[in-house]
Chains A and B, each alone.
Chain A
């Protein structure tokens, strides 16, 4: 157990819908990273938040957005869902801002878009 929690574990929805994925970092960690893992793209970095502020952006679609709340949990919002959005979504947390710190990953949310 890494100490990072993600809910829900599984999500099945239809195209065009909107979903919210939730991540709670390890106690004391201020930084949250979001990743998408799909069979054809591998593990892709989406976005990073540190202490409530967006700090780095990767291959995140405009239909996707994220935020980090004062209690440091983070949510990833996916809208106008397409079949290709089906993937595993991971979050990871670290204590500091630097990417050189070990990242502690959550168990992931498996999203299936039908």
Chain B
């Protein structure tokens, strides 16, 4: 079954710094990928998703992710982070069993 891994557990950045959070998926073939975000004290919400087509996907709040098949990666990026981007970010992939496999998450702290 498909799975994803996130190797950055905690990332600390200053405001206006650029962000890249890593997500690697387990094997090739048809892949659909999601990034979800959980702001402090709030529910998880969808940032963006990749199903097919343009490998550069734009999401909400200025986030984007690039699907790179040769690297089995779907990294999340933002050119300039804000304090309000402080949150936990989860990469996810559908498994063959009609459910989502979530990565362990990356906690982002943005220092004003």
Name A residues whose Cβ lies closer than 8 Å to a Cβ of B.
2, 4, 33, 35, 42-45, 48, 55-58, 90, 92, 97-100, 102-108
Contact = CB atoms under 8 A, between A and B. Distances in A.
Contacts of B101: 45
Given A48-B98, A106-B43, 16 more contacts: A33-B100, A35-B102, A42-B105, A43-B44, A43-B105, A45-B101, A45-B102, A55-B98, A56-B97, A56-B99, A98-B98, A99-B94, A100-B32, A102-B46, A103-B46, A105-B44
A46 B80 CA distance: 36
A58 B92 CA distance: 15
B43 A108 contact: yes
A56 B98 contact: yes
Contact of B103 (A4, A42, A58): A42
Contacts of B32: 100
Contacts of B27: none
A58 B43 CA distance: 21
Interface in B10-69: 32, 42-46, 49, 51
Nearest to B51: A100
Query: Which 6 pairs, one residue from A and one from B, show the smallest C-beta to C-beta distance?
Result: A43-B102, A42-B104, A105-B44, A105-B43, A56-B98, A45-B99
B90 interface: yes
27 contacts: A33-B100, A35-B102, A42-B103, A43-B102, A43-B105, A44-B102, A45-B99, A45-B100, A56-B98, A56-B99, A58-B99, A90-B43, A90-B44, A92-B44, A99-B95, A99-B99, A99-B100, A100-B32, A100-B51, A103-B44, A103-B46, A103-B100, A104-B45, A105-B45, A106-B43, A107-B42, A107-B43
